[in-house]
Structure 1
Amino acid sequence: MVADLTETLAGFPPALCRRIVVKIGSALLVDPSGAVRDHWLRTVAADIAARRAEGQQIVIVSSGAIALGARRLGLPKGGRGSLEDAQASAAVGQIALSQTWATVLGERDLTAAQMLVTLDDLENRRRYLNASATLERLLSLGIVPVVNENDSVATAEIRFGDNDRLAARIGQAARADAVVLLSDVDGLYTANPQVDASAMLVERVERIDSAIEAMADGGSGSGMGSGGMLSKIEAAKIATGAGAHLAIITGHRDSPLSAWAGEGRGTIFQAAAGKRARKTWLAGRLTTRGRITVDAGAAGALARGNSLLPAGVRDVSGVFVRGDVIDILAEDGRTIARGLSEYDSEDAVKIAGRRSEEIAAILGEVSRSVLVHRDHMVML
């Protein structure tokens, strides 16, 4: 049964996946000298055109702006020697990148649209919904959105840091059925295949646990990009938690999507059961304002679908206000849930460990009986 499902999903065929996100890294799109790999990119455009003809909607998440800009500006270290160099390279390179995509897709009678986002655009609920609406409208018009991180203004505080996780978050916003990460390797291996000849390809992952995470290698082999296998595992957590499959396949061949559909070699992370839109957004967030540690009894109650009551709280950290996103931790430090706080952090500290009927006397007013309501919380 496992092999049958993996084989059925191989290539993410249009009949099963109406909408997919395809992520392309810098090392695939740009050669070591900083020039676009035109022939290869045209084979990707041909793949996209073929899938569009079959009714599949495609969103592209494309790296390459910094690498392209650094070449034009003559900056060392691929434009990543400093934040200022990276931002300047991105500003110059993004024009070249968007022109490149417009050209290769235009040759296939497809229209490209550029979307630049920062981490904050997808962490803020209102801007997330705006991005989602824009993607929906573009796709309904038959357009191919080309998304990249807005590196010309992004700083460490508002960066995704890699386009693997960006692709997964865009998959959420676009309500995609699947995400494809084109990589310098053809999937997740039991060990690093570059140093361990006995490493075996993992064809399917149903659940991302500590054993799967231990297989990840955080390095970026090309030195041009910012992602590695660790970032792809993190992307898989976001995508599968949102109900989308995620695949890691090699991009080191022409027509990579067609080749994958033909031979099926890669790793597929199977989607989890779908969550409500708000809970999907919560689960995929990369930043939170604070943390609440709970005792074993409260952790069990949360697992059974209950709200978080103050009585089960052991510790409150961070500075947050009502409505901010906070993580909920078990006593061993594991993050078990995420939700919207019903209290400011100052008041949360005062009522931690106290019964709900005591809250009014402590705070001097009639207040809400829960710290995080179950309708505004997602288990992780």
Structure 2
Amino acid sequence: MNTIVIKIGTSSLTNSETGNLALSTISSLIETITNLTRQGNRVVLVSSGAVGVGRDMLGLTEKPKNISMKQAVAAVGQGRLMRVYDDLFSSLQQTIAQILLTRSDLSRRSSYVNAYNTFQQLFQLGVVPIVNENDTTAVEELKFGDNDNLSALVASLVEADWLFILTDVDRLYSADPRSNPDAVPIALIKRMEQLEELQVQTGKSVSGRGTGGMITKIEAAKIATAAGVRTVITNGKIPSNILKILNGESIGTQFEPQPRQINARKHWIANVLVPIGQLYLDQGAVRAISELGKSLLAAGIIQVEGEFNSSDAVQLCNEKGEEIGRGLVNYSNVELQKILGCRSEDIPEILGYVGSETVVHRDNLLITAG
């Protein structure tokens, strides 16, 4: 039994000329997912399309340019999109559930664990969760940025075996095959360094309806493969290819999963949390956390930027301002301004109460440089 996450983009869900829903593609997708569940697999669908459907319903010819308009259009489109999914899945006696997420839903560890438990319960009930970013409420700094990114985080959350990213090209190429006849298809990426060696060029969405391009799909593959999830980029107009790929056929581009180098908690810190402050460290502190694996102490901090509270995520930077790590901080920015550069044993006297000996404990600290 596999746990499978399938992400389908707006360019695959809609007709590029009319903007209407591509019902034949959606029907094929739903039939494929239903077949997968009947074979004993657990499937999550991450679906774009709410904004695209809303545009079509409202007769808008251009993509919304500001967040409030996008949220309004998404609110119009989300109901229609889910109605289509519900009608078609119901015709095959497959129950679905709608899950709308923002990054803030996953930014607290307790909420992250609750989300995991919800998905597991839905799997036990034989339900297919349909996930989308909650465009109607998300604020810019708490957005996933693109459903490619969201799908990778969901794949990591549910500990998926496979992530399928369905898009408007059949696989990854060395350049955009729609504009470059010399583009070379790539069937397998064993490690991400291959992309540089093959001089892969990436670009933005050309359909004008989606929000991402190949670059967001590669970024998603990096997140997913780092979490041990095999990732595939393939043609969204032929969803039935998913079954063929699972049976061993070489279709699309596969990214091999990487051995987990960090635990689930640190993966969450690295890929889900949005740092809202910066701590600048002296050379001794940089060496202590990056080479010796130690916790960060107040004595090694030379500057604090941003407004944050205890347990928020912050960037850890060297004296040049280059990020070397990320972590969950044990003090607010106000408290740190008072104790930076001080010895741990002096903190209770300075603050007037006994706090943590460490500013960022090594269990909550991830090295990102190198």
1:57-77 per-residue CA deviation (whole Å, 9 max, x = no partner) reads 110000111111221221231
Aligned mates of 1:339, 1:270 — CA distance in 2: 25
Matches of 2:125 and 2:86, distance apart in 1:
16
Partner SS for 2:21: coil
Aligned twin of 1:326: 314
The answer as to whether partners of 2:174 and 2:198 remain within 8 angstroms in 1 is: no
- Relative distance call for 1:205 and 1:186 in structure 2 (3 A) is farther
* Aligned positions of 1:1-380 closer than 5 A: 14=1, 18-32=2-16, 33-78=18-63, 80-202=64-186, 203-207=188-192, 211=196, 215=200, 217-253=202-238, 255-261=240-246, 262-273=249-260, 275-303=262-290, 304-380=292-368
User: 1:210, CA displacement in angstroms?
Assistant: 8.9
Whichever residue aligns with residue 75 of structure 1, its letter is L
Could you tell me which runs of 5 or more consecutive residues in structure 1 were left unpaired when the two chains were aligned.
Answer: 1-13
Distance 1:121 1:200 in 2: 40
Distance in 1 (alpha carbons) for counterparts of 2:83 and 2:95: 11
Q: For the Cα contact (< 8 Å) 1:187–1:201, is it kept in 2?
A: yes
Q: Is the 8 A contact 2:225 2:255 kept in 1?
A: no
AA at the equivalent of 2:340: A
Unaligned 5+ runs, structure 2: none
- Length-normalised TM-score, structure 2: 0.87
Structure 1 residues 243 and 196: alpha-carbon distance in aligned structure 2, compared to 1, 3 A threshold: same
Query: Following TM superposition, by how much is the alpha carbon of 1:362 offset from its aligned partner in structure 2, in angstroms?
Result: 4.1
The amino acid across from 1:246 in the alignment is T
Q: Structure 1 stretch 257-266 or stretch 24-33: which is displaced more?
A: 257-266
State the distance in 2 between where 1:279 and 1:38 align. Answer: 41
User: What code does the residue aligned with 2:281 have?
Assistant: V
Deviations 1:18-77 (A, max 9, x none): 212110001101113222211122222222223223221110000111111221221231
Output the CA distance in 2 between the equivalents of 1:126 and 1:90: 28
Measured in 2, the distance between the counterparts of 1:162 and 1:171 equals: 14
Is the 1:238–1:283 Cα contact (8 Å) retained in structure 2? no
CA contact (8 A) 1:29 1:64 kept: yes
Q: CA deviation at 1:164?
A: 0.6
Deviations 1:238-272 (A, max 9, x none): 32333323222222435231344423331315234
C-alpha displacement at 1:189, in angstroms?
3.4
Contact 2:176 2:203 in 1 (8 A): no
CA contact (8 A) 2:101 2:133 kept: yes
CA displacement, residues 89-128 of structure 1 (integer Å, 9 cap, x when unaligned): 2222111111221223233332111111222212233332
Supply the AA of the counterpart residue of 1:21. Answer: V
Offset of 1:359 from its aligned partner? 3.4
The answer (yes or no) to whether the contact 1:339–1:378 under 8 Å persists in 2 is yes
User: Aligned residues, how many?
Assistant: 363
Q: 1:186 to 1:356 in 2, by over 3 A?
A: farther
Aligned-partner Cα distance in 2 for 1:163–1:308 = 34
What does the per-residue CA deviation read over 1:319-340, in whole Å, with 9 as the maximum and x for residues that have no partner?
Answer: 1111111122244544332221
Distance in 2 separating the partners of 1:295 and 1:213: 38
Counterpart residue type for residue 220 of structure 1:
S
> Letter of the aligned partner of 2:289 in structure 1?
L
- TM-score between both structures, scaled by the size of structure 1: 0.85
One-letter identity of the residue aligned with 2:152: A
Any idea what the Cα deviations from partners look like across 1:255-303, whole Å, max 9, x if unmatched? 2313444233313152341644332321222512211233444333323
C-alpha separation in 1, matches of 2:194 and 2:239: 33
Shift in Å, 1:177: 2.5
Bigger mean CA offset, 269-278 vs 59-68: 269-278
1:154 partner amino acid: A
* One-letter identity of the residue aligned with 2:126: G
Cα–Cα, structure 1 residues 197 and 286, in superposed 2: closer, same or farther, change >3 Å? farther
User: Are the equivalent residues in 1 in contact too, given 2:232–2:252 (CA < 8 A)?
Assistant: no
Please say which of residues 357-366 and 323-332 is displaced more in the overlay: 357-366
Q: Partner letter of residue 294 of structure 1?
A: L
Q: Which moved more, 1:262-271 or 1:146-155?
A: 262-271
RMSD over aligned Cα atoms: 2.7
